[in-house]
Structure 1
Protein backbone atom coordinates (compact mmCIF):
# COMPACT_ATOMS: atom_id res chain seq x y z
CA UNK A 1 0.00 0.00 0.00
CA UNK A 2 1.54 3.35 -1.07
CA UNK A 3 2.08 6.09 1.48
CA UNK A 4 0.31 9.43 1.23
CA UNK A 5 2.61 12.24 0.01
CA UNK A 6 4.07 14.32 2.81
CA UNK A 7 5.93 17.57 3.19
CA UNK A 8 9.69 17.20 3.16
CA UNK A 9 12.36 19.13 4.98
CA UNK A 10 11.79 22.90 4.78
CA UNK A 11 8.25 22.34 3.44
CA UNK A 12 4.76 22.88 4.83
CA UNK A 13 1.33 21.48 4.04
CA UNK A 14 -1.14 24.35 4.00
CA UNK A 15 -4.91 23.84 4.15
CA UNK A 16 -7.06 26.17 2.07
CA UNK A 17 -10.64 26.63 0.88
CA UNK A 18 -12.31 25.42 4.08
CA UNK A 19 -10.23 22.25 4.13
CA UNK A 20 -10.94 21.21 0.54
CA UNK A 21 -7.41 21.88 -0.68
CA UNK A 22 -4.02 20.94 0.74
CA UNK A 23 -0.90 22.30 -0.90
CA UNK A 24 2.75 21.49 -0.26
CA UNK A 25 4.98 24.56 -0.29
CA UNK A 26 8.56 25.44 0.49
CA UNK A 27 8.77 27.12 3.89
CA UNK A 28 11.45 29.54 2.64
CA UNK A 29 11.03 29.78 -1.13
CA UNK A 30 8.11 30.97 -3.24
CA UNK A 31 4.71 30.55 -1.59
CA UNK A 32 1.26 31.14 -2.98
CA UNK A 33 -0.37 34.50 -2.49
CA UNK A 34 -3.91 35.79 -2.74
CA UNK A 35 -3.28 36.36 -6.46
CA UNK A 36 -3.68 32.64 -7.17
CA UNK A 37 -7.07 32.38 -5.47
CA UNK A 38 -8.30 35.56 -7.16
CA UNK A 39 -7.34 34.22 -10.58
CA UNK A 40 -8.95 30.83 -9.95
CA UNK A 41 -12.17 32.61 -8.96
CA UNK A 42 -12.12 35.03 -11.91
CA UNK A 43 -11.44 32.49 -14.67
CA UNK A 44 -14.51 31.44 -16.65
CA UNK A 45 -14.39 27.63 -16.59
CA UNK A 46 -17.02 25.82 -18.64
CA UNK A 47 -18.12 22.24 -17.94
CA UNK A 48 -15.53 19.74 -19.14
CA UNK A 49 -13.09 22.46 -20.21
CA UNK A 50 -9.48 21.72 -21.07
CA UNK A 51 -7.36 24.17 -19.06
CA UNK A 52 -3.66 25.03 -18.96
CA UNK A 53 -1.92 27.01 -16.22
CA UNK A 54 1.11 28.78 -17.72
CA UNK A 55 3.90 29.23 -15.19
CA UNK A 56 2.14 27.06 -12.65
CA UNK A 57 4.70 27.27 -9.84
CA UNK A 58 3.55 25.10 -6.93
CA UNK A 59 0.35 24.45 -8.87
CA UNK A 60 -1.79 26.74 -6.69
CA UNK A 61 -4.04 28.12 -9.44
CA UNK A 62 -4.53 24.73 -11.09
CA UNK A 63 -5.22 23.07 -7.74
CA UNK A 64 -7.78 25.72 -6.80
CA UNK A 65 -9.45 25.28 -10.19
CA UNK A 66 -9.58 21.53 -9.61
CA UNK A 67 -11.59 22.21 -6.46
CA UNK A 68 -13.85 24.71 -8.20
CA UNK A 69 -14.40 22.82 -11.47
CA UNK A 70 -14.40 19.04 -10.90
CA UNK A 71 -15.16 18.27 -14.56
CA UNK A 72 -12.26 20.31 -15.97
CA UNK A 73 -9.15 18.63 -17.38
CA UNK A 74 -6.17 20.62 -16.11
CA UNK A 75 -2.49 20.88 -17.05
CA UNK A 76 0.17 22.92 -15.28
CA UNK A 77 3.30 24.05 -17.13
CA UNK A 78 6.29 25.07 -14.99
CA UNK A 79 10.00 25.53 -15.72
CA UNK A 80 11.34 24.95 -12.19
CA UNK A 81 11.78 21.24 -11.62
CA UNK A 82 11.54 21.46 -7.83
CA UNK A 83 8.22 23.30 -8.10
CA UNK A 84 6.87 20.70 -10.53
CA UNK A 85 7.81 17.87 -8.18
CA UNK A 86 6.17 19.67 -5.28
CA UNK A 87 3.01 20.32 -7.30
CA UNK A 88 2.82 16.65 -8.27
CA UNK A 89 2.88 15.67 -4.61
CA UNK A 90 0.08 18.16 -3.91
CA UNK A 91 -1.93 16.65 -6.75
CA UNK A 92 -1.53 13.19 -5.23
CA UNK A 93 -2.30 14.52 -1.74
CA UNK A 94 -5.65 15.84 -3.01
CA UNK A 95 -6.39 12.79 -5.21
CA UNK A 96 -6.56 14.97 -8.34
CA UNK A 97 -4.30 12.75 -10.44
CA UNK A 98 -7.08 11.69 -12.80
CA UNK A 99 -7.75 15.27 -13.95
CA UNK A 100 -4.69 17.41 -13.17
CA UNK A 101 -1.16 16.84 -14.45
CA UNK A 102 2.08 18.82 -14.40
CA UNK A 103 4.49 19.30 -17.31
CA UNK A 104 8.08 20.33 -16.64
CA UNK A 105 8.91 22.74 -19.45
CA UNK A 106 9.58 26.26 -20.65
CA UNK A 107 6.62 28.47 -21.60
CA UNK A 108 8.78 29.76 -24.47
CA UNK A 109 8.97 26.21 -25.89
CA UNK A 110 5.20 25.78 -26.23
CA UNK A 111 5.36 24.58 -29.84
CA UNK A 112 7.52 21.60 -28.83
CA UNK A 113 5.30 20.66 -25.93
CA UNK A 114 1.72 20.92 -27.20
CA UNK A 115 -0.35 20.97 -30.35
CA UNK A 116 -1.98 24.25 -31.38
CA UNK A 117 -5.54 24.82 -30.20
CA UNK A 118 -5.32 22.15 -27.50
CA UNK A 119 -7.06 24.11 -24.74
CA UNK A 120 -10.32 25.95 -24.04
CA UNK A 121 -8.88 28.11 -21.27
CA UNK A 122 -5.43 29.34 -20.27
CA UNK A 123 -4.69 30.96 -16.92
CA UNK A 124 -1.51 32.68 -15.85
CA UNK A 125 -0.02 34.50 -12.89
CA UNK A 126 3.16 35.60 -14.71
CA UNK A 127 6.19 37.35 -13.17
CA UNK A 128 5.24 40.93 -12.39
CA UNK A 129 8.56 42.75 -12.47
CA UNK A 130 10.78 43.60 -15.41
CA UNK A 131 14.39 42.43 -15.21
CA UNK A 132 15.72 45.91 -14.54
CA UNK A 133 13.15 46.87 -11.90
CA UNK A 134 13.64 46.44 -8.17
CA UNK A 135 16.03 44.26 -6.21
CA UNK A 136 16.46 40.72 -7.47
CA UNK A 137 15.67 38.17 -4.75
CA UNK A 138 18.62 35.85 -4.00
CA UNK A 139 16.22 32.91 -3.68
CA UNK A 140 15.87 31.29 -7.12
CA UNK A 141 12.22 30.30 -6.64
CA UNK A 142 11.19 33.81 -5.61
CA UNK A 143 13.37 35.46 -8.25
CA UNK A 144 11.90 33.39 -11.08
CA UNK A 145 8.33 33.89 -9.85
CA UNK A 146 8.63 37.66 -9.39
CA UNK A 147 10.97 38.87 -12.13
CA UNK A 148 10.89 38.19 -15.87
CA UNK A 149 14.00 35.99 -15.63
CA UNK A 150 12.77 33.02 -17.68
CA UNK A 151 9.80 34.51 -19.48
CA UNK A 152 8.34 37.92 -20.17
CA UNK A 153 4.67 38.86 -20.28
CA UNK A 154 4.65 38.58 -24.07
CA UNK A 155 5.98 35.02 -23.88
CA UNK A 156 3.07 33.91 -21.71
CA UNK A 157 0.44 35.63 -23.86
CA UNK A 158 2.03 34.34 -27.07
CA UNK A 159 1.96 30.80 -25.69
CA UNK A 160 -1.73 31.20 -24.82
CA UNK A 161 -2.53 32.35 -28.35
CA UNK A 162 -0.95 29.18 -29.77
CA UNK A 163 -2.48 26.83 -27.22
CA UNK A 164 -6.05 28.12 -27.28
CA UNK A 165 -8.72 27.12 -29.76
CA UNK A 166 -10.56 29.91 -31.60
CA UNK A 167 -12.85 31.49 -29.03
CA UNK A 168 -10.72 30.19 -26.17
CA UNK A 169 -10.05 32.43 -23.17
CA UNK A 170 -6.94 33.65 -21.37
CA UNK A 171 -7.31 34.85 -17.77
CA UNK A 172 -4.43 36.71 -16.11
CA UNK A 173 -3.75 38.39 -12.77
CA UNK A 174 -1.29 41.27 -12.99
CA UNK A 175 -0.34 44.47 -11.13
CA UNK A 176 -2.84 47.27 -11.70
CA UNK A 177 0.06 49.58 -12.59
CA UNK A 178 0.88 47.35 -15.59
CA UNK A 179 -2.67 46.80 -16.82
CA UNK A 180 -2.05 48.80 -20.01
CA UNK A 181 0.93 46.56 -20.83
CA UNK A 182 -1.23 43.48 -20.34
CA UNK A 183 -4.17 44.67 -22.46
CA UNK A 184 -1.88 45.91 -25.22
CA UNK A 185 -0.01 42.59 -25.31
CA UNK A 186 -3.27 40.64 -25.43
CA UNK A 187 -4.54 42.68 -28.37
CA UNK A 188 -1.22 42.34 -30.22
CA UNK A 189 -1.52 38.55 -29.89
CA UNK A 190 -5.15 38.56 -31.08
CA UNK A 191 -6.52 37.75 -27.65
CA UNK A 192 -9.02 40.57 -27.47
CA UNK A 193 -9.54 41.95 -23.94
CA UNK A 194 -13.16 41.26 -23.02
CA UNK A 195 -13.40 41.49 -19.25
CA UNK A 196 -11.44 43.19 -16.47
CA UNK A 197 -11.84 43.46 -12.72
CA UNK A 198 -9.76 45.64 -10.43
CA UNK A 199 -8.72 44.50 -6.95
CA UNK A 200 -8.56 47.01 -4.08
CA UNK A 201 -7.48 46.67 -0.46
CA UNK A 202 -10.24 49.07 0.63
CA UNK A 203 -13.17 50.76 -1.07
CA UNK A 204 -11.89 54.06 -2.42
CA UNK A 205 -8.23 53.03 -2.35
CA UNK A 206 -6.10 52.64 -5.45
CA UNK A 207 -6.28 49.29 -7.23
CA UNK A 208 -3.40 46.93 -6.46
CA UNK A 209 -4.16 44.13 -8.92
CA UNK A 210 -6.01 43.67 -12.17
CA UNK A 211 -7.78 40.55 -13.42
CA UNK A 212 -8.17 40.45 -17.18
CA UNK A 213 -9.69 38.04 -19.68
CA UNK A 214 -8.96 37.95 -23.40
CA UNK A 215 -10.74 35.90 -26.06
CA UNK A 216 -8.93 34.49 -29.08
CA UNK A 217 -10.54 36.09 -32.12
CA UNK A 218 -12.98 38.06 -29.96
CA UNK A 219 -14.67 41.29 -30.98
CA UNK A 220 -13.68 44.66 -29.55
CA UNK A 221 -15.96 45.18 -26.57
CA UNK A 222 -14.79 45.34 -22.97
CA UNK A 223 -16.80 44.63 -19.81
CA UNK A 224 -15.48 46.34 -16.66
CA UNK A 225 -16.79 44.43 -13.65
CA UNK A 226 -17.45 45.82 -10.20
CA UNK A 227 -14.23 46.01 -8.18
CA UNK A 228 -13.14 43.30 -5.76
CA UNK A 229 -12.57 44.85 -2.31
CA UNK A 230 -10.65 42.88 0.31
CA UNK A 231 -11.33 44.79 3.55
CA UNK A 232 -14.16 46.93 4.91
CA UNK A 233 -13.71 50.20 6.80
CA UNK A 234 -13.17 48.24 10.03
CA UNK A 235 -10.26 46.37 8.40
CA UNK A 236 -12.21 43.12 8.42
CA UNK A 237 -12.64 40.84 5.42
CA UNK A 238 -15.50 41.79 3.14
CA UNK A 239 -18.15 39.17 2.43
CA UNK A 240 -16.68 38.49 -1.01
CA UNK A 241 -13.20 38.11 0.48
CA UNK A 242 -14.56 35.56 2.94
CA UNK A 243 -16.22 33.72 0.06
CA UNK A 244 -12.92 33.72 -1.83
CA UNK A 245 -10.97 32.25 1.09
CA UNK A 246 -13.67 29.64 1.67
CA UNK A 247 -13.72 28.67 -2.00
CA UNK A 248 -17.33 29.62 -2.60
CA UNK A 249 -17.05 30.46 -6.28
CA UNK A 250 -19.33 32.21 -8.79
CA UNK A 251 -22.13 29.90 -9.90
CA UNK A 252 -21.38 30.12 -13.63
CA UNK A 253 -18.81 31.56 -16.06
CA UNK A 254 -19.44 34.58 -18.25
Structure 2
Protein backbone atom coordinates (compact mmCIF):
# COMPACT_ATOMS: atom_id res chain seq x y z
CA UNK A 1 0.00 0.00 0.00
CA UNK A 2 2.62 2.57 1.04
CA UNK A 3 5.49 3.60 -1.20
CA UNK A 4 8.87 4.90 -0.08
CA UNK A 5 8.60 8.15 1.90
CA UNK A 6 4.85 7.85 2.46
CA UNK A 7 2.86 7.67 5.68
CA UNK A 8 -0.77 7.26 6.70
CA UNK A 9 -2.46 10.02 8.73
CA UNK A 10 -5.94 10.07 10.23
CA UNK A 11 -8.23 12.79 8.87
CA UNK A 12 -9.31 15.18 11.62
CA UNK A 13 -12.82 14.55 12.90
CA UNK A 14 -13.18 11.19 11.12
CA UNK A 15 -11.98 7.60 11.32
CA UNK A 16 -10.73 7.78 7.74
CA UNK A 17 -7.08 7.53 6.81
CA UNK A 18 -5.13 9.34 4.11
CA UNK A 19 -1.77 8.69 2.47
CA UNK A 20 0.65 11.62 2.62
CA UNK A 21 4.31 12.27 1.85
CA UNK A 22 6.72 15.06 2.71
CA UNK A 23 7.87 15.60 -0.88
CA UNK A 24 4.37 16.53 -2.11
CA UNK A 25 1.78 19.02 -0.87
CA UNK A 26 0.12 17.70 2.31
CA UNK A 27 -3.34 18.90 3.26
CA UNK A 28 -3.85 21.81 5.64
CA UNK A 29 -6.68 23.40 7.62
CA UNK A 30 -8.25 25.06 4.58
CA UNK A 31 -8.98 21.75 2.82
CA UNK A 32 -10.85 20.34 5.84
CA UNK A 33 -12.79 23.59 6.25
CA UNK A 34 -13.85 23.46 2.58
CA UNK A 35 -15.03 19.88 2.97
CA UNK A 36 -17.16 20.89 5.94
CA UNK A 37 -18.43 24.18 4.42
CA UNK A 38 -19.63 23.04 0.99
CA UNK A 39 -23.22 22.01 0.38
CA UNK A 40 -23.53 18.35 -0.61
CA UNK A 41 -26.64 16.26 -1.31
CA UNK A 42 -26.99 13.84 1.63
CA UNK A 43 -28.58 10.75 0.12
CA UNK A 44 -27.48 10.72 -3.51
CA UNK A 45 -26.07 12.92 -6.23
CA UNK A 46 -22.78 13.65 -7.95
CA UNK A 47 -19.94 15.75 -6.56
CA UNK A 48 -16.82 16.88 -8.43
CA UNK A 49 -13.67 18.00 -6.60
CA UNK A 50 -11.14 19.89 -8.74
CA UNK A 51 -7.40 20.24 -7.97
CA UNK A 52 -8.00 17.40 -5.53
CA UNK A 53 -4.40 16.63 -4.57
CA UNK A 54 -4.15 13.49 -2.45
CA UNK A 55 -7.94 13.36 -2.10
CA UNK A 56 -8.46 15.12 1.20
CA UNK A 57 -11.54 17.21 0.27
CA UNK A 58 -13.26 14.28 -1.41
CA UNK A 59 -12.64 12.05 1.61
CA UNK A 60 -14.06 14.69 3.97
CA UNK A 61 -17.11 15.12 1.74
CA UNK A 62 -17.63 11.35 1.74
CA UNK A 63 -18.45 11.60 5.45
CA UNK A 64 -21.35 13.95 4.62
CA UNK A 65 -22.96 12.36 1.56
CA UNK A 66 -23.87 8.94 0.26
CA UNK A 67 -23.52 10.22 -3.29
CA UNK A 68 -20.73 9.65 -5.81
CA UNK A 69 -17.60 11.80 -5.67
CA UNK A 70 -15.20 12.27 -8.59
CA UNK A 71 -11.84 13.90 -7.93
CA UNK A 72 -9.67 15.48 -10.61
CA UNK A 73 -5.92 15.93 -10.10
CA UNK A 74 -3.21 16.85 -12.61
CA UNK A 75 -0.22 15.28 -10.85
CA UNK A 76 0.04 11.51 -11.34
CA UNK A 77 1.72 10.91 -7.97
CA UNK A 78 -1.02 12.68 -6.01
CA UNK A 79 -3.73 11.00 -8.07
CA UNK A 80 -2.21 7.61 -7.28
CA UNK A 81 -2.08 8.47 -3.57
CA UNK A 82 -5.74 9.54 -3.66
CA UNK A 83 -6.89 6.29 -5.26
CA UNK A 84 -4.94 4.21 -2.75
CA UNK A 85 -6.49 6.24 0.11
CA UNK A 86 -9.91 5.53 -1.39
CA UNK A 87 -9.11 1.81 -1.32
CA UNK A 88 -7.73 2.07 2.23
CA UNK A 89 -11.07 3.48 3.39
CA UNK A 90 -13.17 0.99 1.37
CA UNK A 91 -14.82 3.78 -0.63
CA UNK A 92 -14.08 2.66 -4.19
CA UNK A 93 -17.78 1.95 -4.80
CA UNK A 94 -18.53 5.69 -4.86
CA UNK A 95 -15.24 7.64 -4.91
CA UNK A 96 -12.66 7.84 -7.70
CA UNK A 97 -9.73 10.06 -8.66
CA UNK A 98 -8.93 10.87 -12.28
CA UNK A 99 -5.58 12.20 -13.47
CA UNK A 100 -6.32 15.07 -15.83
CA UNK A 101 -6.15 18.83 -16.36
CA UNK A 102 -9.16 20.83 -15.17
CA UNK A 103 -9.18 22.55 -18.55
CA UNK A 104 -10.10 19.17 -20.09
CA UNK A 105 -13.36 18.91 -18.12
CA UNK A 106 -15.57 19.83 -21.13
CA UNK A 107 -14.04 17.05 -23.21
CA UNK A 108 -14.26 14.38 -20.51
CA UNK A 109 -17.54 14.97 -18.69
CA UNK A 110 -21.13 15.63 -19.66
CA UNK A 111 -22.24 19.23 -19.16
CA UNK A 112 -24.40 19.84 -16.11
CA UNK A 113 -23.99 16.40 -14.55
CA UNK A 114 -22.86 17.47 -11.07
CA UNK A 115 -24.82 18.78 -8.09
CA UNK A 116 -21.77 20.24 -6.33
CA UNK A 117 -18.27 21.23 -7.42
CA UNK A 118 -15.55 21.99 -4.87
CA UNK A 119 -12.02 23.28 -5.34
CA UNK A 120 -9.03 24.17 -3.19
CA UNK A 121 -7.08 25.78 -6.06
CA UNK A 122 -3.53 27.13 -6.22
CA UNK A 123 -3.62 30.41 -4.31
CA UNK A 124 -0.84 32.48 -5.80
CA UNK A 125 -0.85 34.04 -9.29
CA UNK A 126 2.33 33.93 -11.33
CA UNK A 127 4.02 37.32 -11.35
CA UNK A 128 6.45 38.35 -14.07
CA UNK A 129 10.01 37.18 -13.38
CA UNK A 130 8.98 35.63 -10.04
CA UNK A 131 11.34 32.88 -8.93
CA UNK A 132 9.45 29.91 -7.51
CA UNK A 133 11.72 27.99 -5.16
CA UNK A 134 9.49 25.09 -4.07
CA UNK A 135 9.82 21.58 -5.43
CA UNK A 136 7.74 21.00 -8.56
CA UNK A 137 4.97 19.00 -6.82
CA UNK A 138 4.53 21.68 -4.16
CA UNK A 139 4.87 24.60 -6.57
CA UNK A 140 2.06 23.24 -8.77
CA UNK A 141 -0.23 23.04 -5.73
CA UNK A 142 0.57 26.55 -4.46
CA UNK A 143 1.01 28.63 -7.62
CA UNK A 144 -1.12 29.07 -10.75
CA UNK A 145 1.37 27.28 -12.96
CA UNK A 146 -1.07 24.77 -14.45
CA UNK A 147 -4.45 26.43 -13.87
CA UNK A 148 -5.88 29.77 -12.79
CA UNK A 149 -8.87 30.75 -10.68
CA UNK A 150 -10.77 31.43 -13.91
CA UNK A 151 -9.91 27.95 -15.22
CA UNK A 152 -11.39 26.18 -12.20
CA UNK A 153 -14.51 28.37 -12.05
CA UNK A 154 -15.15 27.91 -15.78
CA UNK A 155 -14.72 24.14 -15.41
CA UNK A 156 -17.03 24.14 -12.41
CA UNK A 157 -19.69 26.13 -14.22
CA UNK A 158 -19.62 23.71 -17.15
CA UNK A 159 -19.90 20.69 -14.87
CA UNK A 160 -22.71 22.03 -12.67
CA UNK A 161 -26.40 21.57 -13.27
CA UNK A 162 -28.63 24.67 -13.04
CA UNK A 163 -28.99 25.40 -9.33
CA UNK A 164 -25.85 23.43 -8.48
CA UNK A 165 -23.29 24.72 -5.98
CA UNK A 166 -19.65 25.74 -6.48
CA UNK A 167 -17.61 26.00 -3.26
CA UNK A 168 -14.07 27.42 -3.11
CA UNK A 169 -11.48 28.09 -0.43
CA UNK A 170 -8.96 30.81 -1.19
CA UNK A 171 -7.04 33.83 0.11
CA UNK A 172 -9.08 36.85 1.32
CA UNK A 173 -7.13 39.25 -0.87
CA UNK A 174 -8.67 37.57 -3.91
CA UNK A 175 -12.31 37.86 -2.83
CA UNK A 176 -13.19 40.57 -5.36
CA UNK A 177 -11.65 38.48 -8.14
CA UNK A 178 -13.53 35.38 -6.95
CA UNK A 179 -16.85 37.22 -7.11
CA UNK A 180 -16.12 38.70 -10.54
CA UNK A 181 -14.99 35.39 -12.04
CA UNK A 182 -17.94 33.49 -10.61
CA UNK A 183 -20.45 35.99 -11.94
CA UNK A 184 -18.73 35.97 -15.35
CA UNK A 185 -19.32 32.21 -15.43
CA UNK A 186 -23.01 32.41 -14.42
CA UNK A 187 -22.43 31.48 -10.78
CA UNK A 188 -23.91 33.88 -8.24
CA UNK A 189 -22.02 34.07 -4.91
CA UNK A 190 -24.43 33.17 -2.09
CA UNK A 191 -22.35 32.33 1.02
CA UNK A 192 -19.11 33.83 2.33
CA UNK A 193 -17.12 33.02 5.46
CA UNK A 194 -13.83 34.49 6.65
CA UNK A 195 -11.47 32.53 8.89
CA UNK A 196 -9.09 34.43 11.20
CA UNK A 197 -6.03 33.06 13.00
CA UNK A 198 -6.90 35.04 16.16
CA UNK A 199 -9.30 37.74 17.33
CA UNK A 200 -8.09 41.09 16.01
CA UNK A 201 -6.01 39.53 13.23
CA UNK A 202 -6.89 39.84 9.52
CA UNK A 203 -8.54 36.84 7.89
CA UNK A 204 -6.16 34.45 6.13
CA UNK A 205 -8.71 31.99 4.70
CA UNK A 206 -11.99 32.66 2.88
CA UNK A 207 -14.71 30.18 1.96
CA UNK A 208 -17.18 31.08 -0.77
CA UNK A 209 -20.09 29.20 -2.30
CA UNK A 210 -22.16 30.19 -5.30
CA UNK A 211 -25.19 28.86 -7.13
CA UNK A 212 -25.23 28.35 -10.89
CA UNK A 213 -27.99 30.56 -12.27
CA UNK A 214 -28.77 31.85 -8.78
CA UNK A 215 -30.31 35.19 -7.89
CA UNK A 216 -28.19 37.92 -6.23
CA UNK A 217 -28.05 37.82 -2.46
CA UNK A 218 -24.80 37.13 -0.58
CA UNK A 219 -24.83 36.01 3.06
CA UNK A 220 -21.68 36.71 5.06
CA UNK A 221 -21.60 34.02 7.73
CA UNK A 222 -20.11 34.50 11.18
CA UNK A 223 -16.29 34.47 11.11
CA UNK A 224 -14.36 31.45 12.34
CA UNK A 225 -11.55 32.19 14.80
CA UNK A 226 -8.95 29.42 14.85
CA UNK A 227 -6.72 30.15 17.88
CA UNK A 228 -7.28 31.56 21.34
CA UNK A 229 -4.83 34.13 22.71
CA UNK A 230 -2.83 31.35 24.39
CA UNK A 231 -2.40 29.49 21.10
CA UNK A 232 -4.93 26.74 21.83
CA UNK A 233 -7.73 26.03 19.40
CA UNK A 234 -11.04 27.83 19.96
CA UNK A 235 -14.14 25.85 20.83
CA UNK A 236 -15.76 26.87 17.53
CA UNK A 237 -12.77 25.65 15.54
CA UNK A 238 -12.61 22.33 17.40
CA UNK A 239 -16.28 21.79 16.62
CA UNK A 240 -15.72 22.57 12.94
CA UNK A 241 -12.39 20.79 12.45
CA UNK A 242 -12.30 17.91 14.93
CA UNK A 243 -16.06 17.48 15.34
CA UNK A 244 -15.60 17.81 19.13
TM range (shorter): over 0.9
CA distance in structure 2 between the partners assigned to 1:135 and 1:205 by the alignment:
29
Q: 1:76 aligns with which of 68, 71, 78?
A: 71
| 1:211-226 pair list within 5 angstroms | 211-226=207-222
Q: 2:151 aligns with which of 151, 155, 159?
A: 155
| Structure 2 alignment gaps of length 5 or more | none
Q: Does 1:40 align with 2:35?
A: yes
1:18 CA displacement: 4.4
Instruction: Give me the CA root mean square deviation.
Output: 1.4
1:19 CA displacement: 5.1
Report the TM-score when normalising by structure 2: 0.95
| Structure 1 alignment gaps of length 5 or more | 1-5, 249-254
- Write out per-residue CA displacement over residues 59-114 of structure 1, whole angstroms, 9 at most, x where no aligned residue: 11001111232x12100001111111110000000111111011111100111110
CA distance in structure 2 between the partners assigned to 1:53 and 1:112 by the alignment:
17
Report the TM-score when normalising by structure 1: 0.92
CA contact (8 A) 2:102 2:152 kept: yes
Matched residue SS, 2:35: helix
Q: Does 1:238 align with 2:202?
A: no
Which residue of the partner structure matches residue 146 of structure 1? 142
Q: Does 1:114 align with 2:109?
A: yes
Paired positions, count: 242
- Write out per-residue CA displacement over residues 140-174 of structure 1, whole angstroms, 9 at most, x where no aligned residue: 11111011111000000000010000000000000
1:17 CA displacement: 2.6
CA distance in structure 2 between the partners assigned to 1:245 and 1:189 by the alignment:
31
Matched residue SS, 1:9: coil
CA contact (8 A) 1:11 1:24 kept: yes
CA distance in structure 2 between the partners assigned to 1:241 and 1:87 by the alignment:
26
Which residue of the partner structure matches residue 176 of structure 2? 180
1:240 CA displacement: 2.0
CA distance in structure 2 between the partners assigned to 1:150 and 1:223 by the alignment:
32
1:27 CA displacement: 2.0
Q: 1:200 aligns with which of 196, 199, 202?
A: 196
Which residue of the partner structure matches residue 86 of structure 1? 81
Which residue of the partner structure matches residue 61 of structure 2? 65
